[in-house]
């Protein structure tokens, strides 16, 4: 097998590269959800994180 053939193999199921690709995909999806929410709420004021933590009794 030549080096070109090995470079095109799909990543192994437990490989760090595959884990990183999945994490990147999840981050991209999260960013899209946040952007859609911002557009849906228009110019309404956002709730400050400090208020959210207080309301949910988070440290």
Q: What is the pLDDT of residue 11?
A: 65
Each residue of 22-54: pLDDT tens digit?
Answer: 899 999 999 999 999 989 988 888 899 999 999
Q: What is the pLDDT of residue 14?
A: 77
Structurally, how many domains does the chain consist of? 1
Q: Using an 8 Å Cβ cutoff, are 36 and 28 in contact?
A: no
Q: What is the pLDDT of residue 17?
A: 86
Q: What is the pLDDT of residue 5?
A: 54
User: pLDDT at residue 7 above 80?
Assistant: no
Helix H, strand E, coil C: the string for the chain is CCHHHHHCCCCCCCCHHHHHHHHHHHHHHHHHHHHHHHHHHCCCCCCCHHHHHHHCCCC
Question: What domain range is 43 assigned to?
Answer: 3-55
Q: What is the pLDDT of residue 43?
A: 87
């Amino acid at each position: 097998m030549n080096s070109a053939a090995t470079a095109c193999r799909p990543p192994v199921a437990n490989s760090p590269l595959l884990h990183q690709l999945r994490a990147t995909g999840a981050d991209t999806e999260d960013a899209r959800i946040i952007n859609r929410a911002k557009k849906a709420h228009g110019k309404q004021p956002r709730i400050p994180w400090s208020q959210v933590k207080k309301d949910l009794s988070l440290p």
